[in-house]
Amino acid sequence: MRQFFDERNYTEVDTPSLSPDLIPEATIENFETTFSNEFVGSRNLYLVPSPEVFMKKLIADGMGSVYQFCHCFRNAEQIGENHNPEFTMLEYYTVGYDEQDSIPLTEELIERSSPKGTDTALLPPFRRMTMQEAMWEYAHVDLDVCQDQRLLAEACRMNELLVPEQREPWEDTFNRLFLTLVEPNLPQDKPVVLDRYPRQIDCLAKRDGNYRKRWEMYMKGVEIANCYDEERDRDTVAAYYEKEYAKLVEERSKSGSVIPDCDPSFADIFTHFPQTSGVAMGIDRLLMVQNGEKEIGALLLFPFSAMLMHGKKLS
């Protein structure tokens, strides 16, 4: 994979795992630690859930296309199956590309890096399907029609899914349908690029009508990669951070989990950010499916589940 990017003149970067502030992401819980020095004082630090912000800073500074393999940390997610709290991510950002250009690039990357004898269900060409098509095919829901949460909730009831009587965020109702009826039924004979996510799932992918310029790639039903046409309008990014931070503070004040420090000046990167498409790929998951394993821990030398089970504490 490194050779693939080096041949295309991407710069490999290595950004910090420990950071004094994070970008606000309401759905990702964080690990907190403390830097302390008797003479200098102490400061909260966080293990990064992704290297995104550092890489975007480098792109804004004119570094061009960049890639990185790094460990990322996400708290409170379950352990086992497709998750380990510490995992290896590959992120690659291509300056001048949009999310559509990243599809053939990712196909080539998978083609080039897959070991000989890899199951053809894990090799290109990728099947391409829009979220609109997938929701219609597997849940009989027309996303263009169901822009109102109440209509989506009705679709849940027609599909005999549990849905609360009171209103909830549109994306939660969407996920009930998507996760129960669509995701488990996606074709598994080839990798699938599920394109154009609903606009209501707020993120830093550019908006396009009712959708966003974002895709996810699945292999054998497992989410492997996520791609955006990166938002580059400063005010849109600043508004997104503000909203996300408010949501984060509200939810975590209730649950008591870590509220990280967030630096509002992150948005200023986007006063001079070039057209870019970024892909994040879960390397442990890719190796898991390539090796026919069902548990992410099967390929880790020290899976978290085993460390928790067998670990002893000095007393």
Partner 1 sequence: MAIKAGQIDKGTALLIKGQPYVVTDREFVNPGKGSAFVRIKMKSPTTGQTLSDTIKTQETVDDINVSDRDCQYLYQDGELFHFQTTDTYDEVTVPMVTFPDYQFLMKEGETYRCTFWEESLLDIQIPSKVIYTVAEAEEAIKGDTVTGTTKNAVTDTGLKVRVPIFIKAGEKIRVNTETKEYLERVND
Write out the residues near partner 1 by the rule CB under 8 A. 27, 76-78, 81, 83, 160-162, 164, 171-172, 175-176, 178-180, 183-184, 201-203, 216, 223, 226
> Least separation, in Å, of the C-beta of 207 and partner 1?
14
User: How far from chain centre, in Å, is Cα 268?
Assistant: 22
For the chain, helix, strand, coil in percent to 5 are 35, 25, 40
Q: Reply yes or no: is the peptide bond before residue 125 cis, omega within 30 of 0.
A: yes
> Least separation, in Å, of the C-beta of 94 and partner 1?
20
> Least separation, in Å, of the C-beta of 3 and partner 1?
28
Q: Is 67 exposed, middle or buried (0-12, 13-18, 19+ CB in 10 A)?
A: buried
> Least separation, in Å, of the C-beta of 183 and partner 1?
8
Nearer to partner 1, 27 or 36 (CB): 27
Nearer to partner 1, 25 or 276 (CB): 25
Nearer to partner 1, 58 or 220 (CB): 220
User: How far from chain centre, in Å, is Cα 168?
Assistant: 23
Nearer to partner 1, 118 or 175 (CB): 175
Which residues have a Cβ under 8 Å from the Cβ of 93 and sit 6 or more positions away?
A: 55, 56, 59, 65, 66, 67, 230, 276, 277, 278, 279
Element containing residue 179 per DSSP (H, E): none
Nearer to partner 1, 146 or 163 (CB): 163
> Least separation, in Å, of the C-beta of 242 and partner 1?
17
Buried-exposed string 284-304: b where 16+ CB fall within 10 A, e elsewhere: bbbbbbbeeeeebbebbeebb
Query: CA torsion sign, 16 to 17 to 18 to 20?
Result: positive
Nearer to partner 1, 95 or 259 (CB): 259
Strand partners, 95: 276
Nearer to partner 1, 137 or 171 (CB): 171
Buried-exposed string 155-172: b where 16+ CB fall within 10 A, e elsewhere: bbeebebebeeeeeebbe
Q: Which two tokens stand for residue 1?
A: 């994979």
> Least separation, in Å, of the C-beta of 203 and partner 1?
5
> Least separation, in Å, of the C-beta of 169 and partner 1?
9
